Structure 1
Amino acid sequence: MVLDITKFLNRFIDEARDLLGYLGEGVKNLEQGQCDAELINSLFRSAHTVKGSSRMLKLQSIADTAHSLEELLSALRDQKITVTQPIVDGIYQAVDSLSDMVEQLASSQDPNSLPSAPQALCDALLALAAGEKSAPTTAQPLAQPVSMANEVAAAQTSKPQPALASSDSVRLRLESLESLSKLISEVTASHAGLRELVRDAQALKLSWESAQDAVLSKQRFDSLFNNLKEIVGSQEALIYSLHDQAMGLRMLPLKQVFEPAAKHIREVGRMLGKQVSSQISGEHIELDRSIIEQLSEPLVHLLRNAMDHGIEEPQTRLDQGKPAAGLLKLSAWQDGGWVVIELSDDGAGLSLEKIRQKLAKQQLSADEIANMGEQELFNQVFLPGFTTASMITEISGRGVGLDVVKRKVVDDLQGLIEVRSQEGKGTSFTLRLPLSLAMLRVLLVETAGHMLGFSAQYVVELTRITPEQILEVADRNVFVLRNEFVPIFELHQLIGLPNLTNTPGQISKNLLLLVVRVQHEKIALVIDRLVDEHDLIINTLPEHLAHNPLVSGMVNHGYQQLVSLIHVPRLLELARKKHQKTADNSIKSITQQHLLVVDDSLNTREIERDVLEAWGYQVTLAEDGLDGLNKARNGDFDAIITDVEMPFMDGFTLTTHLREHERYKNRPIIIITSREKDSDRRRGIEVGADAYIVKGSFDQNNLVDTIRALLG
């Protein structure tokens, strides 16, 4: 009788993934200096189990590779050899090779599809076990069973490319299944109660038609209403519990994509000839499976970008006083309704000068480039086709990558991405992702007769303002929200919806504003009313509507009413474009005077710059007091405009330091802040400010007149 092994393959694959994951963690501990006997024994047992299981299923290539690894670990266990870097590298390569074969088996479900064992690697492992000192021959990584969409670099080279992939099966705790079964039983019982109430209602209808006693009929109706209300409330609670349980089953740890990341780093490092170590933390954080599965592509791009562009060659790093091996950190943590993933390197960092040169080649004017702040310049790396690489390689340089990352994170995963860098010291990319795309906290609002939804992670607050609080600055309406200018837009006009209520604008009465934010940028949207706030299931758009970037999904409200969920990052892009069109018409006078604007609010910086540039001033922006002080010392400004409340250094301290500098002893310094107290005004005068303007009563003409008076 021939044994049918196919039904055992999935069990083997799950077990092998667990064991290889443990081997990967163990060799990381070995590399960090933990060489106790128990660790080595447990690694040996894991390799031995993989070997034994694969031999039983006639998976010869896996068995042979695992046997070579087992021999090396046996020599370590018996203290015939000691842990060295070549041994650590050999174990890493063996684990990577075994993982490749297991994933290929999972993809094909055909043992005959496996290639032969990597003989060069097996021989090198046996040589290390025998006490030879040389490092193992670099093994070619196997072709991955999961292809990466948009991985252009991989498609254009014959070399196999590593990929991150999540498992197509998950293990469930027995108590989770029992809890789910219990909830389903309770929902079934509740539904039976509803059927009883339907029969009661039918009986009431018949009795009502023939009843002579109105009081009795009303009593029966009240009883039916109360019972119906109670059972519907109970069923609603059960449905939410059932959904929570189902969502819990969908959640997977980031380990699913973080664990292969270390392997990916090693393989790309070998391809590039670079030494790179990795630090991974937060892999226990859980995300919805649908997000985990889509996270692979952006992480691959970011890892490859860091390896190729970020980490320098070993000799270059040594010449700069850095260790020869670069460091990549991949970490995650939960922040409210978001999961934050950060990938950072200690490499060369982004060169602002190279970014400016690239933008100049893309036909941007010198003035446009000069007016870009540091963060705005960094954000240019997400533009399609943007690359500062001087040469196209197998890994990068084609201008494909970071634009794919942004599109995937922002559009597909409803998240945010931010880049920070310091030249010579490294770069970090921060991704903020919702816990789930299946259900989100949604605010339903009504504007001009239309109902629209906003996911809560983008909402700052709802607030009412009077017409007197509206300021006209740089050709747009703004109001002051906690020390920053926030632009105001009519929501239906911004997204091009007709006014179905046929009522004029609300400028003459109090406005209800929905303030939304993407990273550091805010806008306020005029709405008529807040309809509801609920955790709602997000339905994907039908194919014929999927092209609309402004709508990220649909939610159900009331009795089968579909409501569009607005994609806030695209909404802010619309707001920026709308202002750019009106700003193009501004009349500028001619002056060469150069002003420095210092404010930690992106909105406020941009609005003040628009006002000043409209009058012909050249403007440089600084993001906080310390940044402002550095730019002032390295530049030559005719006047400085600063906020007070800022991180790192407040405006009072900045003014004090500037007055100590020879160049700025007598240059005008203007404080613009929301602080209205006389004590704050006196403090401004004491530290040397020439003017003090309160944002709540801000008038752009007053600002320009003040600057003109001070500059003469």
Structure 2
Amino acid sequence: MALDIRRFIQRFVEEAADHLPRLREGIHALEQGNADREQINELFRAAHTLKGSSRMLKLVPITALAHSTEELLSALREGTLTITSEMTSLLNQAVDELTDFVGRLAEGATGEELPEANAALCSALENAAHGQLPTQPSSPVPVAPAAAPTSPSTPVAESELRLSDTVRVRLNRLDDVIRLMGEVLSGHHHLHSLVDQARELSATLPADQQSPFQAFHRELKDSVLTHDSLMSDLHDRALQMRMLPLSVVLDPFAQMSRELAQSLGKQVDCRVRGSEIELDRQMIDRLSDPLIHLLRNALDHGLEPPAERQAAGKPPRGQLVIEARQDAGWVVIEMHDDGAGIALDAVHQKALAKQLVSEEQLNALSEQETLELIFLPGFSTKSMITDFSGRGVGMDVVKRTVVDELNGDLQLASVSGRGTRFTLRLPLSLAMMRVLLVRVVGVTLGVTAPYVSELVECSTDTFIDTAGQRTLILRNEFVPVVSLAQLLKLPNTTSNNGSTLLLVVHQRHQKLALIIDSLIDERDMVIKPLPVHLRHLPLVSGMVSMGRNALVSLLHVPALLEATRRSVLHPSVERPSSTSAQRILVVDDSLNTREIEKDVLEAWGYHVTLAENGRDGLAKALAEPFDAVLTDVEMPVMDGFALTARLRENEDYRHRPIIIITSREKEADRRRGIEVGADAYIVKGSFDQNNLVETLQALLG
């Protein structure tokens, strides 16, 4: 895909409009003898940036002049020269000519239409950098006819006026505006409660006073509603000012990928789609490093050399697609290649060699869970992340940036011989998000809506006990139940008897039901970052304002899920020696259900291996023998009935126990289970861990 240079010309003009005044100010400081080392460094960086940006856009005259200017500034920066009036004169002439070039671009000129750089000026700048100054220093360097100076009435002056149509604002100032708008919105929300109080007060007044007070109530209500839409629109406009198209990050990837692939002796076609979609500037800034790291890994570890691709029946040129799309309040970015995919055996060996997990734990992992070991800290070693693709950013940092810092999600899929796909799911902005406000033992807390699955009110009698963990059966899935007050170590004075309100949160395939007292509100709120001295708190991701200087902590759901996994202590159960060597395969597409059944069985001494769907379960069952298989019914790719039937066709599993555990209660489903060869059929709605263990022990003898 060819890079459309014209799309970036205006952006270069805006960038130059920021750097040229800095150059003028710095040169003036040099003339006055007031420039310190840092100001000279800033001058050098401005010239260097103009050179680099113009070179990418093939603006040859600007590149040449900026390069010569950079040469002189480099010598000044290194201290090999002492500034003289002749040098500042040359620098001022260079800035004047650069300004002329930028003015022409602002008028619509292309790089090919720019006049050539003043060769005499470029030569004088470079000679000055080597200590060779002209004999007549006071005389300006002759200007080439094509770049004749212009008077203030010429189009260049008009173009400079047009440059003021675009204003470059420091991001921290824009953040201050958005923060103040958030404070205004929070304070305005309080007026709604005053409107309700005015209505209630009107009802308590004598009849002869109600009429004027009701008129006041109506006027107040209308005013608040009118300002609602005005302030909401104003805040939306303020947020849009911080939005930038993804093209800022994604469009250079096509050219970058070709150059990097060439340095690796590979060939690639990189296609970028959806780069016009906009994201918050803060998010785009943080996305740059993770996306570049994923790109480099795709080229280094994913795509094969041309000869290897041809031997595998593929075209010699690899395909890399980077695609962005909007999904409601989210932006989804996918990067996928048609390379060799991730070798599970290599991941397995690396995890063992680095002692990240034990061999027993590895055997219990599903195929997807094995793939995701690459996100563990310490997995990015030299053999996996080369000097080319490292840059000090490991896959664990990519995941932490996307999940923890950007409140997003990162998914990985890989098929051997066909390629790898990374999917990033990100909110449009971190500045404002939908927030649920809940109350727990008198404390108000917030949870951002993307992590919320649903609210459930149920009786505590519906909970079941699985290996010491309270569990809710929610639509064919076991969901652990945890008291939010207990998790946060708050004094819990509420009773667990009767009805319980549960806030079900999720991250990807993992769910957790949090016991809360009540739901207060749900609305869009401005997210405030934690102050520096509080950023060490793992369970809190930010704060929101409730008005009147009341701040509410936002819970960080990924950290809550991790804290729950660490805090759950299963009771020690006397493990019968007769079952210590028996191996069980658990097949279920729900991560929660797999983990809970695994905990129950391991508490009784069984060795458990997990599979995430029927196809994964069949592959693992045929790869090594298991003493029994536990399977769900409703799963993607291959359901439990098909898995049972396929296992019964295999001689090794013709007589081994297969237990179906599902939420399907219909008699027809039970008969279907018997027909395909299941030995037992357990309904999740009446699940009891003792019943499961007793059934398994009876079938295993």
Q: TM-score, normalised by structure 1?
A: 0.70
- Provide closer, same or farther for how the CA distance between residues 700 and 111 of structure 1 changes in structure 2, counting only shifts above 3 A: farther
Deviation of 1:291 after TM superposition, in Å, equals 1.3
Which of 640, 646, 655 is residue 651 of structure 1 equivalent to? 640
Letter in 1 for 2:64: Q
Q: Give structure 2 stretches of 5+ with no counterpart.
A: 1-7, 17-53, 69-93, 100-163, 168-180, 199-204
- Residue 670 of structure 1 aligns with an amino acid whose one-letter code is I
Following the alignment from structure 1 to structure 2, what is the Cα–Cα distance between the partners of residues 15 and 239?
Answer: 30
Report Cα offsets for 1:648-702 as digits up to 9, x if no partner: 2221222222222222222111110111112211221122211110101101111
What does 1:71-110 correspond to in 2, within 5 Å?
none
CA distance in 1, matches of 2:451, 2:385: 38
SS in 1 for 2:251: helix
Is the alpha carbon distance of 1:629 and 1:110 closer, same or farther for their aligned partners in structure 2, counting shifts above 3 Å? farther
Cross-structure match for 1:606: 595
Which range moves more in the overlay, 268-277 or 594-603?
A: 268-277
After superposition, the C-alpha distances for 1:410-469 in whole angstroms (9 at most, x for unaligned) are: 122111112222233322111110111111111000111111101111111001111221
Q: How does 1:463-478 map to 2 (within 5 A)?
A: 463-478=456-471
Which of 296, 303, 308 is 1:311 aligned to?
A: 303
Q: In the alignment, does 2:428 pair up with 1:435? A: yes
- CA distance in 2 between partners of 1:249 and 1:592 (Å): 63
Query: Match for residue 136 of structure 2?
Result: none
Query: Residues 84-233 of structure 1: matches in 2 within 5 Å?
Result: 217-233=209-225
The alpha carbon displacement at 1:596 in A equals: 1.3
Aligned to 1:160: none
> Does 1:693 pair with 2:682?
yes
Task: Find the partner of 1:321 among 306, 313, 318.
Answer: 313
Please give the secondary structure, in 1, of the residue aligned with 2:241. helix
Q: Distance in 2 between matches of 1:362 and 1:458?
A: 32
Hey, what does 1:13 align to over in structure 2? 12
Give distance in 2, aligned partners of 1:586 and 1:380.
Answer: 30
User: How far 1:393 sits from its partner (Å)?
Assistant: 4.2
Cα 1:434/1:685, change in 2 over 3 Å: same
Q: CA deviation at 1:523?
A: 0.5
Query: Alignment partner of 1:305: what SS?
Result: helix
- Give yes or no for the alignment of 1:271 onto 2:256: no
CA distance in 1, matches of 2:395, 2:486: 32
Confirm whether residue 383 of structure 1 aligns to residue 382 of structure 2: no
Asked if the contact 2:661–2:683 (Cα under 8 Å) also holds between the matched residues in 1, the reply is yes
Per the TM alignment, residue 320 of structure 1 is displaced from its structure 2 partner at its CA by: 2.5
Q: How far apart are the structure 2 equivalents of 1:655 and 1:551?
A: 45
1:624 aligned partner: 613
Return the alpha-carbon distance in structure 1 between the equivalents of residues 165 and 383 of structure 2. 44
Distance in 2 between residues matched to 1:239 and 1:258, nearest whole Å: 33
What is the distance in 1 between the residues matched to 2:680 and 2:11? 75
Asked if 1:532 corresponds to 2:525, the answer is no
In the alignment, which of 575, 578, 603 is matched to residue 588 of structure 1? 575
Q: CA deviation at 1:558?
A: 4.6
Which ranges in structure 1 are unaligned for 5 or more consecutive residues? 1-8, 18-46, 65-107, 114-168, 173-183, 202-212
Alpha-carbon distance between aligned partners in 2 of 1:304 and 1:668, rounded to the nearest angstrom? 47
Cα distance, 1:216 vs. partner?
5.3
Tell me by how many angstroms 1:705 deviates.
0.7
The CA deviation string for residues 232-259 of structure 1, in whole angstroms up to 9 with x for no partner, is 1221222112222333333322222110
Distance 2:609 2:482 in 1: 27
Identify the residue that residue 60 of structure 1 maps to in structure 2: 64
Task: Pick closer, same or farther for the CA change 1:622–1:391 going to 2, 3 Å.
Answer: closer
Counterparts of 1:597 and 1:329, CA distance in 2: 36
Taking the aligned partners of 1:557 and 1:228, their CA distance within structure 2 comes to: 21
Residue of 292, 297, 308 corresponding to 2:289: 297
Counterpart contact for 2:435–2:522, Cα < 8 Å: yes
Aligned counterparts of 1:553 and 1:619: Cα–Cα separation in 2: 39
For the residues of structure 2 that align with 1:551 and 1:401, how far apart are their CA atoms? 24
Partner of 1:583, secondary structure, is coil
For residues 598 and 299 of structure 1, what CA distance do their matches in structure 2 show? 34
1:511 counterpart = 2:500: yes
Tell me how far apart the structure 2 counterparts of residues 352 and 218 of structure 1 sit (CA, whole Å).
76
- Asked if 2 retains the 8 angstrom alpha-carbon contact of 1:390 and 1:397, the reply is no
1:248 and 2:240 matched: yes
Q: Could you say if the C-alpha distance between residues 640 and 170 of structure 1 is closer, same or farther in structure 2, counting changes exceeding 3 Å?
A: farther
Deviation at 1:218, TM superposition (A): 4.4
In the aligned structure 2, how far is the partner of 1:634 from the partner of 1:534? Answer: 51
What is the Cα deviation at residue 305 of structure 1? Answer: 1.3
Cα 1:559/1:229, change in 2 over 3 Å: farther
Q: CA deviation at 1:624?
A: 1.0
In the aligned structure 2, how far is the partner of 1:391 from the partner of 1:675? 44
Question: What letter is aligned with 1:631?
Answer: K
- Over the aligned positions, Cα root-mean-square deviation in angstroms equals 3.4
Partner of 2:157: none
Distance across 2 between alignment mates of 1:560 and 1:322: 62
Match of 2:84 in 1: none
Letter in 1 for 2:227: Q
Moved more, 340-349 or 442-451: 340-349
CA displacement at 1:317 relative to structure 2:
2.2
How many correspondences in the alignment? 536
SS of match in other structure, 2:514: strand
Any conservation in 2 of the 1:354–1:388 contact (CA below 8 Å)?
no
Distance in 1 (alpha carbons) for counterparts of 2:165 and 2:455: 41
Deviation at 1:527, TM superposition (A): 0.5
Specify the SS of the correspondent of 1:488: strand
Whole-Å separation in 1 of the counterparts to 2:165 and 2:566: 45
2:487 is matched with: 494
Q: Distance in 1 between matches of 2:392 and 2:376?
A: 9
Give the secondary-structure state (helix, strand or coil) at the position aligned to 2:672: helix
Which amino acid in 2 is paired with 1:589? Answer: P
The Cα shift of 1:337 comes to 2.2
Quick one: percent identity of the two aligned structures?
54
Contact 1:659 1:665 in 2 (8 A): yes
CA positional deviation for 1:400: 4.0
**What are the superposed Cα offsets for residues 514-554 of structure 1, whole Å, 9 maximum, x if unpaired?**
00110110010000000000011111111211222321111
